[in-house]
């Protein structure tokens, strides 16, 4: 799946392989996750956030994540 060019040196396969799981933690984790999701979702890939009840859906859409109504709410 496509990612922003700035992330390419950090990922071993020049992107996120389809079906992969990624865990981001530490300072800036939310911003980094939103940036990763934005490029992939704009490219037509399905993305998911699991186990983060405080996820800011409005903020993720403002950061460029393609949106549909979150499920499980």
| 70 within domain boundaries | no
Contact 33, 7 (CB under 8 A): no
| 27 within domain boundaries | yes
Q: How far is CA 50 from CA 2, 4, 14, 36, in A?
A: 20, 22, 24, 15
| pTM, 2 dp | 0.70
The count of domains in the chain is 1
Q: What is the pLDDT of residues 18-38, one digit of tens each?
A: 888 888 888 888 888 888 888
Assess whether pLDDT exceeds 80 at residue 12: no
Domain membership of residue 9 as a residue range: 5-62
| Most distant pair of Cα atoms in the chain: their distance | 36
| 34 within domain boundaries | yes
């Amino acid at each position: 799946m496509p990612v922003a060019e700035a992330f390419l040196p950090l990922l071993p396969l020049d992107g996120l392989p389809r079906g992969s799981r990624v865990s981001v933690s530490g300072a800036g984790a939310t911003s980094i996750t939103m940036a990763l999701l934005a490029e992939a979702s704009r490219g037509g890939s399905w993305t998911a956030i699991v186990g983060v009840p405080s996820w800011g859906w409005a903020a993720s859409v403002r950061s460029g994540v393609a949106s549909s109504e979150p499920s499980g709410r």
